[in-house]
Structure 1
Amino acid sequence: MLDVRRLRVLLAVAEHGGIAAAARALTFTPPAVSQHVAALERQLGVSLVDRGGRTARLTAAGQRLAGHARQVLAGLEAAEADMAHLGDGLRGTVAVGTIATLGQTLLPAAMAALRDTAPELDLRVEECEPEDGLPVLARGDLDVVLGCEYTLLPARSPAHVERVDLFTEALLVAVPAGHRLAGPEVDLADLRDERWIAPSAGSACETILRRSCALAGYDPHVVAHCGDFAVATALVRAGHGITLLPSVATPGLDGGGVRLLGVRLLGVRRPGVHRTLYAAIRRGTRRHPLVGCLLNAVTTAAERYAAPS
């Protein structure tokens, strides 16, 4: 019998145009992808990849098997969804990957609703960034990913991943309560001489900070890196610097000079910095009653955040 995981890897090679690209999409190493393909070749006794050129591509046999893999994987998703409809009630496990801010806000709200509508639905939750979670979703080890995409950092979703946009929010500047700028809005250019508390080094959030400041004409003076918005807020409160916060990380507040325990939140006029929050699933799994139930709960919970900031 052909291994389903190996078929997913072969399909990624077909859809991303080579072993190296498939490895990036699946967060595998190229040797690991090559090993999966080689195992299929030994099992079937045919060459699936042409390794003669600069980019390894599928042979005619590899393309044919990729076509079968596409049908097999879709059939397995459909079979699982069909079986889940049998019996009384909704029961089973759904694996969810989520960014921290949605794990603190949107997901708990959805879980509270699910206790009434699907009390036997068990969620396995993993905190992860979209760049890590989406490849895991594509290869079948997660069922839903709650993530975000910044306006200045668009990302291409893996093949066969469907994205459901939930809401768009602004990023706010958090400054100490006694800061010289009263707000309610500022231009990032007005903050060129400030000390910045940046997100984790190398993260998408840090890239957004640097790109936004670059559009305002300067490189931010970074005095701290932290991946936890609560820690960043505490450092702002202590007067160590200023930071960017997503609106959802400041519950009940919409910027406009609002004070939050010694911190003032200011809107950004230019350049506007926004991000779109979304739920991602594999194509075809929306029909699965457990995935569909969770997706409905998440979408309903997102409505309270959908109003413009």
Structure 2
Amino acid sequence: MSTKQTSAPGTHYSLLGVEPDASQEMIERAYAQQRERYNPERLSELDPELRQVAIARSAELERAYRILSEPARRRQYDASLGGAPGAAHAAQRGLSRRELTFAMAGAVVAVGLIAAIWVLTGRSSEPQGQAMSEVSRPAPGFVSPALDGGSINLADYRGQVVLLNFWGTWCEPCKRELPALQAAHEQLGSQGLAVIGVNLTGNEVLQGGDDASIRAFLDQYGVTYPIALDREGTISNDYRVFPLPTSFFIDAEGAIRYVHIGELTLDDVKATFARLRPSTSMQTSHKP
């Protein structure tokens, strides 16, 4: 059976949030969306460490766009990855997410950016024991469509610790951390932790995805925690999300206390939740 070529972590395609078979129009739309995310006026409001990460990311984004927007340079780039030009796979866009494979693993185009993220956020290359960036600022409120119907209102979770995880189906570390997030939901939910995934649905649509394909993707991992659909990019913009995955730990009073850029482990979640865990009297039993 034929499979759709997917963007590997660290490629110019993954930086833009598109597949290697993306049309020029899709690349233009993705670039416009990412450029707004890295607007200098927004960068000036970031915490110093996150600002440095964002600036590095922005520079990588510009380089990626310059190459992918010029057909000749794009063909050369595709060849350097060991794959056929993206246009050769355009006819396969209708395949489901269940059929996708991360076939181009090992590309190292953005090694410099990845290294910067690890260094600036105090993390080693090992996923265990990664550091959290400690902050203290109000969590932007939102009401968002939920993947399973209805809506998700962040205010409804006041009194609980909220793990807000921004992710996309094309993001390899997002994929790897799903079992840990589901385990945290199952093991810590009754103790006052609410796990909410925020899908960058606008980027999914650019790649030909929809609600059904997102649901099919999550079903492969048995995910049952609520998923908010950020269709317009409003939530990710308000939270100043840059690399994926990015996770925010929000305390029972509604303040962001920790930010984690990169893959989370169950131990990461347990340790951070232990520091923020509300008293029994403050916990609520929220039923999304």
Structure-2-length-normalised TM-score: 0.29
Structure-1-length-normalised TM-score: 0.28
Find the structure with the greater CA-based Rg. 1
Name the structure where strand makes up a greater proportion of residues: 1
